Amino acid sequence: MIVTVPEAEPVVGEWRLQYTFDGPAGIPPHVTVLFPFVQSERVGEVERRVGEIVAAAPAFDLLLARTARFPEVLYLDPEPAEPFLALTGAIASEWPEHPPYEGAFETVIPHLTVAESEDSALLDRIAAQVEPRLPIEMHAREVSLFTEDEKGRWHEHRRLPLGEQA
């Protein structure tokens, strides 16, 4: 479950295709709400309830104004982060068997991955090319539910609308 950021495609799309695992598999620039989630064949069982949870959260404005780093990841830092954290918390509490990132991280940090590499100098060079093209602004109106096919490609299954902006 992701909030796609099509406005970021011209800025980070090529980098994502070259230097991320999910870009070449069909995932567009996005901020993750919850991954992993239910298996593709079970999506129909949960999508009504997920839609209700998403609709209870208001649509919001989003600003991507700076890059940031995890040790091997260059990302865009979304402001505000709170709407993503609220959505993640609400959905994960409904399906506790699907914690964010399989529970690998104590703290969930919303982010839009630009590139992944052990080469810190490469990430520095990419950041230097991305930063002058910021900020990116958008109005988040929906959460996209993606499913993975048998070949490992991801496809948008459904767009779930957020509620009215507060």
Residue 124 falls inside a structural domain: yes
Q: What range does the domain containing 115 cover? A: 2-161
- Report if residue 15 sits inside a domain: yes
pLDDT band at 166 (very low <50, low <70, confident <90, very high): low
Residue 130 lies in a domain: yes
Please indicate, yes or no, if residue 25 is contained in any of the structural domains. Answer: yes
| Residue with the two structure tokens 């598999």 | 25
Assigned domain for 152 exists = yes
Q: Which two tokens stand for residue 130?
A: 């991305």
In a domain, residue 12? The reply is: yes
**Number of domains the chain contains:** 1
- Residue 93 in any domain: the answer is yes
Alpha-carbon gap, residue 84 to 58, rounded angstroms: 11
SS3 of 81, please? coil
Q: Give the tens place of pLDDT for each residue, 121-158.
A: 999 999 999 999 999 999 999 999 999 999 999 999 99
Instruction: State pLDDT tens for residues 61-96.
Output: 999 999 999 999 999 999 999 999 999 999 999 999
The residues pairing with 143 across neighbouring beta strands, listed in sequence order, are 160
Which range has the worst mean pLDDT, 36-50, 114-128, 148-162?
36-50
Neighbours of 3 (CB within 10 A): 24
| Position 166 in a domain | no
pLDDT at 59: 97
- Given CA atoms 104, 110, 112, 114 in this order, what sign does their dihedral have? negative
pLDDT single digits (tens) 2-27: 999 999 999 999 999 999 999 999 99
Looking at residue 97, which CATH number applies to its domain? 3.90.1140.10
Query: Is residue 160 exposed (0-12), middle (13-18) or buried (19+ Cβ within 10 Å)?
Result: buried
